[in-house]
Every structure is written in structure tokens, then in C-alpha cells.
A and B are shown apart, each in its own frame.
Chain A
Amino acid sequence: MAHYNFKKITVVPPAKDFVDIVLSKTQRKTPTVVHKHYKISRIRTFYMRKVKFTQQTFHDKLTQILTDFPKLEDVHPFYADLMNVLYDKDHYKLALGQINTARHLIDNVSKDYCRLLKYGDSLYRCKQLKKAAMGRMCTIMKRQKQSLEYLEQVRQHLSRLPSIDPNTRTLLICGFPNVGKSSFINKITRADVEVQPYAFTTKSLYVGHTDYKYLRWQVIDTPGILDHSLEERNTIEMQAITALAHLRAAVLYVMDPSEQCGYSIEQQIELFNNIKPLFVNKPLLICTNKVDVIRLEDLPTEKAEQFKVFEESGIPLLSMSTLTEEGVMDVKIQACEKLLQYRIDTKIKGKKVNDVMNRLHVAMPAKRDNKERPPCIPESVQSLKKTMDTDVKSKKKSLRDLEIEEGDEYTVDLRKHWNLPNEEEKYDIIPEIWQGHNVADFIDPDIMKKLDELEKEEEMREQAGYYDNESEEEDDEMKEIRKTARKIREKRNIIMLESKEKRRVEKPKLPRKKMSTDKMNRELGALGIEMDSDEDTHLNQMRSRSKSRKALKRKREESMDVDKPRSRSRSVSKAPRDQSGVRDAKMARKVKTIGRKAQVPRNREAKKGEGDRVILNMKPKHLFAGKRKGGKTDRR
């Protein structure tokens, strides 16, 4: 019912935030772009939409608030009264009324400005109108700041009220402050109400739940009530009074005969008499608490006499001590019984009962004859029962017994029940792994047979010379050949490296130094050529100024003949270029093919020769025009 919704009221934002929320929502949910050159109708609809949207959002949010907050007329009178006590009915209604008017005003503003917007003739004018409309709506909201704050506080407090069901079985505990009401509720329910030695520790109503006869019972703890007139009561006491007034519950009036609460017995009885009108139509119980301090019997006679009044009026008087828990359960049981009885009585007196009663019928079968008919138990079951009764211990000693016997030194013996052909081997340590092999993979009853076969085979192989690995001794010749082959390979690698070095042109190279005669002698000597030391070889002739060079004799061609023209002869001291450095015919052919192949790339580019570096078109248009689709400029 109604009390459940108190936790589901929407949060009421403060005025500033409210405005912010609505405006940002408008910003997000409506189109944002508009230009001067749009059609005027489009501009008008654009701004009208904004105004209407803001109005709609305000309206929705305010409606939400108004519907969520409980209407005091619609709730149970207990809650209505409680809210009045706590929040002041007038203030509450006023705040909600103001919100309502604000909503109405915002609607009106929006209507007016939409009407004006219909006739806006420029973007600027429409924009100003929209600004004005939104501004007015926001000011209206800002004026509601106080109401919104108050409503937010009300909401927070409402959501924290204990959920009291006004219609179910309830026990209400009341009395002076410090008599022991909260201790009592702590004892019978799981509620954890604060108990302190000062008065008015409990400042509001607290609910606990307890069970009796498979039913749920609410127990309500109230703040203490003091003895003065209704008008002088403060909010805290008023809550207790409200509860007393509206809830149909069993009332437990708790008294403290030891006067430890600070009030005498007379005062407590005075208060009782004052609030007696509230107990009309409610089952009532008087409980005297703190009997561990002083018992009713031990009270001096004057005080004891006052309690007689209750006995006369037929109100049950019970004693209990919440400290020692003596009599607490009794009180609870009595109270519950009384309330149950009362409720049943009221129900029977009412009209609804008849509907239920008409549908119920209890059948009581009458006895047919006087024959005895006891329950029938079969024989087997009876014998089984007998065997179970006699405590015969089984002969077998269980493992658990063994465990208990051995105590600390007990270890589970898993091998005890192994069924092996040879019983002594049960507790052997079995190897599982050897040198990277699983022993279990080799286990075979025929393994010795197979091993014998294998050994035989092995012998045969050895005899056949399978394991003869003598490499033939290489004769000297072979050794020489190997050595020279190695030298050849080394020399070849050196030549390759040298040629790579030569080709790798990184720095400008200086021309070769003159090869000295010693070096040349050495190199040729390595190849096996001995230089004969003749005097008139070129090498041994030192070039000095003093010595004049003899004219070198050259081989004369047949062209020295007079008949042949001189122009046809060529000097043969220099070898023709296509023959210099060429060793043999094979190399000559290779040279020719290399020469031909070198022409191919040039011919493909239609160059006249190796010296042709002409570029016809330095800046072709297709590479220098267009946007950057063709790639970066360095890659075009």
C-alpha cells in the first residue's frame, strides 16, 4: 500500500540544477543549426520547437514530482497525521501548490511566445523571442527555489520512515522515557534500537518484527511521552501520540516501579490516566519493567496499593526484566494472545466472516460400533525394529576405529587390500620412471624372450660387419688433393672479397701505388713462377736521368713493306681494346655477350648511346598537376 511508495519518489533537484537539466536537454534533443538564409517558415518552426520542447520538459518533470509526492487525503490517516506532525501539513500543501502554479505559468508563457513566434519576420527576431520565452520560464523556476528545497528534504526524510503497515497485527509500546521500551523491543525482535541512560534516546518510531503462532507481528517502539497537555507536546512526543491514536494495536504500557527512570509511580499512573482515552478499543497490558532491581512484592505498601487500581479495572499486570530476560517472553505471548483474540472477535462481529463460515464445514465421523481398530504394523518391520534396538557391535573393526586408535601416527594404508599373487610384495617400492622412459611401457611377460631374439639379431649384425666403421686410410695423394682443394677454395674466397671491396665505391679512390719488385716476385713465386734475374729486363733497369733509355726494339709488322700503304698499318705496341685483358676465346665470347647485354636497357629507353642523357620533357604535366591524390610529391 501507500507506505511503499515513499521510497520511490523522484529526486527533486534544486532550482538551479533543474533549470540546467532542462536547458541542456533542450540543447541536446533539438536541432541546433539554423542559418539566416533559410526559409522563414523553417526558422520559425525551429525556434518554436525549442520553446515548446522546454515547456514540455518542465511540465513533465513538475508533473512527475506532483504525482510522486503522497496526497495527504489519499494515504492512511496514520501516515497523514505522522506527516503533519513531522512536516506540517500546511507547509507541505503550500509547497506542492506552488509547484503546480509554476507549471501552469510555464505553460502559459510558452503558449504566448509561440503565438508571437508565428509572426517573427527575421532570424534575429525569432531568436530574441525564443530567448525571452526561455528566460521567463527559467525565472519562474528560480522563484521556486524554497519550495524545491523543502520538498527535497521532505522526500529524503519520508524515504527513511520505517515501513509500518497500519492494518496488520501490531504491538505498540509506550510509557515514560527511560522505562525500558527500547530494551524490550531489542529483546523480542531483531531490531537494534539505541539504548542510553538519558531521556529521549529514541526520537522517532522504530519497527521490529517477531513471530508467534506462525504469524508475523509488528512491534513498534515509540519515544517516551511526558505528562502534559496535547498543545504543549513537541514533535517527538506527537509521533508517539499519532501512533497511539491511529494504529489498531495491542498497547503495552511499560512502567518502572523502581523509579530509576526519574519519575515516581504516581506520575506514571497519572500519565496513564491522561492518555487512557487513546486506549479505547485496544487490548491493553501493563508491564512493570526492571524487576531485577525491585520486585512488585518488595514495594512499600503505599506504592503497591496503586497497582491495585489496575487489577480492579481488569487490566492484566505483568512483571518482566529486560536485563535478565525474566518474563519477557511471557509478556509477548500474553500480548499476542490478547490481540489475536481481539481481532478474531472483531472479525466475527463483522459481516465478512459469514462468507468464510458458510464455505467451511468440519466433518466429525460418528463411531460405527465398539470394535477396536489399532494401527497395523507388518511382521518384518517389527523384527527389524528389534534388531536395531539390540546394540550388537559388528565384528569388523572399521577404519574410523583404527584412525581413532592410532591418533597422530595414523596414515591411510592404501595397499592393505591389494590382491597380488605374492602377498609379501605388497609394500614394495615400485619404480615408475628410469632415464626418461616409463617403466610401465616395457612391462611384458615375454620380455626376456624378445630380448634374446634381439641379442641374436645384434650378434648377426656385428658378424656381418654392420658396425665396421673403419674409414679407409687415405693415401698421400688424396691428402695432397684435399690440401690443394682447400687452398683453392680459400684463394677463391679471397678473390671474391677483393672484387667486392673494389666494387664498393664509397670514397674517392687514389690511383694505385706502384707495385714493388719484391712484392711482385713474392706473388709470382706463390703461383710457382720464378723470375730470372737478367740484367736487361725492364724491372732491373733503374730509371735515372743519367742513363739514357735505349730505344726498345719492337716487333715489326709485314706492313713495313713499301707496297702496302702506311696508313693501313697500326702500331702493335698497344693491344686493341677489344683484345686487351682477354685471356682466351671463351672469355672473348663472354665479353661480347656482356657488351651486347649492356645495350639492352639503353635501347629500351630509345637512347642513342651511353652518352645520351637528354630528357625531352623535364616537367610532364601528369606528375605536376592535380591534388594530392597521386601521392606525396616525392613519390610522384
Chain B
Amino acid sequence: MRLEKCYFCSSTVYPGHGIQFVRNDCKIFRFCRSKCHKAFKKKRNPRKAKWTKAFRKAAGKELAVDPSLEFEKRRNVPVKYNRELWQTTFKAMKRIEEIRIKRQNQFILNRLKKGKELRKEADVKEVETNIHLIKAPTGRVKTLEKKMVQVIQEEDDDDMEEV
């Protein structure tokens, strides 16, 4: 039993789900659901459909090239069963998964950092150019006044105490 990848969206196809299409040149296309199957029949390019993993990797939105991704590879020559090997592989798999997830999240965070910078700059520019919408040129800022009032009050209190 094997978990396959959908040809269109690259999601895992579990047993009992989806459709397989075998073309005349013996290439097998597996689809996870009819959405992908129909898109394929309409000759859509998965690299252009924004919601697929193929697009995301090709457009650099997700981690595509990384040593932690090299571990999971379809091997055509099966290895004879060896309990020890299987056990170590299992442990390794768990660790690899952790590392991979960590790296992927970091990649996405790095990508989004730039957006933060841009937004900061946009805010500053906005305030500079359009402040007139909330504050008249001659208006005074009320908060500062309040603070000044507070300070005066404190001084008065101090004076009162002194006296």
C-alpha cells in the first residue's frame, strides 16, 4: 500500500480515494478529487493554478530546495527487510520531519518580513501626506494638552503640599 501524490495539487491520495488515469504512453496520472481531475481534463497547467503546491514551489512561496527534502525519495529498488534498519529509519523520519517543518516555517517568515517593512514605510508616508484628514492645520493635539494639564495639576499638588 502506498500513499500517492495528486498530479495536479500534490496532495496525498489515500487508498480508496481519487481516480487514476493511464495515458496511452503508459504515464499514470493520479488525482485526489474530481476538482483536480476536471482541471486536468480542461488542460489547465498546475503551475499556473495559484492554489496548487506546484505553483507555490515554482513561484518561490514555499521551500523547494533543501537538504531535508532530499530524504523522501521514491526508490525503485526495494531493500530487504531488516528490523534494525527499519527501526532507525523510523526514528530518523520523525526527526527529519521536525527539521523540515521548522525550516519551512522559517522560510515563510523570512518571506513575510519584507511585507512588514513595506507596511511600516507605507504608514509613515500615509501620516506625512494625509494627516489633514484628521487634523486641521491649525488644530492642536488634544492629548498633549491633557498631559500639560496633568503636569500643571501635579505641580499644584506639590505646591499645595509644600505649603
Interface residues of A (CB under 8 A from B): 418, 420-422, 425, 428, 430-445, 447-448, 450-451, 453-455, 457-458, 466-467, 469, 471, 478, 481-482, 484-485, 487-489, 491-492, 495, 524-530
Contacts and interface: CB of A to CB of B under 8 A. Distances in A.
Contact of B126 (A422, A434, A488, A529): A488
Contacts of B82: 420-422, 425
Interface residues of B, number: 50
A482 B123 CA distance: 6
Contact of B71 (A434, A450, A488, A524): A450
B42 interface: no
B124 interface: yes
Contacts of B79: 443-445
Contacts of A489: 126
Nearest to B99: A458
Contacts of A469: 106, 109
Given A436-B3, A442-B92, A447-B88, A478 B120 contact: yes
B51 interface: no
A457 B90 CA distance: 21
Interface string B83-120: 10110111011011101001000100100000010001
Most chain B beta-carbon neighbours within 10 Å: one of A444, A453, A457, A471 = A444
B138 to A, nearest CB: 6
A528 B142 contact: yes
Most chain B beta-carbon neighbours within 10 Å: one of A432, A442, A444, A526 = A442
B81 A425 contact: yes
Given A422-B83, A454-B96, A447 B136 contact: no
A529 B92 contact: no
Contacts of A436: 3, 12
Interface stretch (B16-24, B25-33, B127-135): B127-135
B160 interface: no
B72 interface: yes
B106 A467 contact: yes
Given A441-B73, A481-B123, A484-B131, A529 B136 contact: yes
Contacts of B142: 525, 528
B1 interface: yes
A482 B124 CA distance: 8
B83 A425 contact: yes
Contact of B93 (A434, A457, A478, A526): A434
Given A447-B92, A448-B92, A528-B141, A437 B133 contact: no
Given A434-B93, A443-B75, A451-B95, A528 B124 contact: no
A488 B134 contact: yes
A430 B89 CA distance: 12
Contact of B133 (A418, A422, A443, A492): A492
A491 B106 contact: no
Given A527-B134, A528-B141, A443 B83 contact: no
B104 to A, nearest CB: 12
B140 A437 contact: no
